[in-house]
Amino acid sequence: MITRANLAEQLRDYQLRSQQNWASLSFFSSTANISTRGDAAWAGLMGLLFLLLLIVTFTAFHLRYNKIAACFLLMAMLLLISLKIIRHKRLAKRRQRRMLLPLSM
């Protein structure tokens, strides 16, 4: 027999599984949690870009182009910092929007 408790437990399990699927991509996401395919695609694209920058950096270091490698390493670090700043700004904007709602809502 299906009860509310069983349905609630199944829903909780489903939500936990769906959150764990994107846990590795959430580091490269500009939102706090990945809820749509667009967020997942954006996080995947940023992850691939970061990986590409690291591969080019290591290749340049291997070929002894130290200045070029340092530039690519700097770009990879700036990518991570900019994603962190974007995430912080979006969360701040969301918090501010919540504070503007009337108390009756």
pLDDT digits 0-9 by tens, 45-104: 999 999 999 999 999 999 999 999 999 999 999 999 999 999 899 888 888 887 877 766
Q: Is residue 43 part of a domain?
A: yes
Q: State how many domains the chain has.
A: 1
- Model confidence at 21, in pLDDT bands (50, 70, 90)? low
Question: Quick check: pTM over 0.75?
Answer: no
CA 40 to chain CA centroid, Å, is 8
pLDDT at residue number 56:
97
- Report the length, in residues, of the chain: 105
Whole-angstrom Cα distance, residue 46 to residue 68?
21
Contact 21, 12 (CB under 8 A): no
Angle at 90 between CA 87 and CA 94, to 5 degrees: 140
Q: Is residue 105 part of a domain?
A: no
Closest CA to 32 of 76, 104, 95, 77: 95
pLDDT at residue number 14:
77
- Model confidence at 12, in pLDDT bands (50, 70, 90)? confident
pLDDT surpasses 60 at 42: yes
Name the strand (E) or helix (H) holding 50.
helix 37-62
Domain hosting residue 42, numbered range: 4-100
